[in-house]
Amino acid sequence: MHRRDFIGSGGALVALSLMASTPAAKATPGEQSTPRPENKPVLKVKNIAIGEGQPKVIIPTTATTEKELIDFVGKAAAREDFHLLELRVDPLENATSAEAVAALTHKVSAMLGDKLLLLTFRTQAEGGKKAISDKEYAALYRSLLEKGQFDLLDIEMYRDRALTDPLIALAHKTNRKVILSNHELHATPAAPEIISRLREQQARGADILKLAAMPKMPADVLTLLSATLEMHQRYAQRPLLTMSMGETGVLSRMSGELSGSALTFAMLGDASASGQVDLEDLNSVLQILHKGMAG
């Protein structure tokens, strides 16, 4: 997605500003049911404050070999226009080798300096490159938490909770932050359902709450953004990461400072998901919006 594709996005932003509020979702067990105060939830990792100022930018890797990955990180690491690198494990040819991936995380982490390393195995069921059983998924993650070097771990919320809840605890024990994630590949849930899922992630101990959904029509994008705003204003005690996928959902990737989504993905080279925006283009738009909103 390049600069010329952003023409007309101002009208969409006006539409966003006119969104009606969404119905409040039901309280999740273990989570406070009253609206939170208006202070913004901020997560500080190293010197990066997630939830302050412009949305923090994540670039994902799409490499299939170690050489490709190291070459990509070597070229990207010196850039100053992103904050987190997502090491996507699932495209790698040795993705299920915990020893190989753990060793790779040490190499990548050393190259990134003050930038954050997010580790993600996106399962095929949620849009990733490889199918893996819940037991294999949990065993791989446990080994990586014990032997790897990274700052954040993406855990899919709908894998077996008996296996993944201990991973959340282990991540925190080893001083990692957890993104609990959910990807709806074929539709956009209703706003109360989106809020309910994000609140469930929060109640389960996630440090960042993530939901991505596929829009069938432009109104679905506004549903996602409206639900994000409702969650941010009323219930969020953790930073949010939400997006509407595909070309139709591109607005959601750059309007987080308005809707309350504290992070966004951009592509440097190949995209890891449909609708991702070129890194330089995205930063240009984020800066324009930030300047305009700052008055």
Catalytic residue, chosen from 56, 115, 177, 183, is 183
The DSSP-derived string for 80-120 is SS-SEEEEE-TTSTTTT-HHHHHHHHHHHHHHHTTSEEEEE
Using DSSP's 3-state secondary structure scheme, residue 25 falls into coil
Name the residue with tokens 């959340």. 168
Identify whether 183 is a catalytic site residue: yes
Burial category of 255 from C-beta neighbours within 10 Å (exposed 0-12, middle 13-18, buried 19 and up): buried
Which residues, 6 or more positions from 229, have their beta carbon under 8 angstroms from its beta carbon? 19, 258, 259, 260
Identify whether 106 is a catalytic site residue: no
Residues in the chain: 295
Of residues 153, 181, 187, the one with CA closest to residue 84: 153
Catalytic residue, chosen from 172, 210, 216, 290, is 210
- Active-site positions? 183, 210
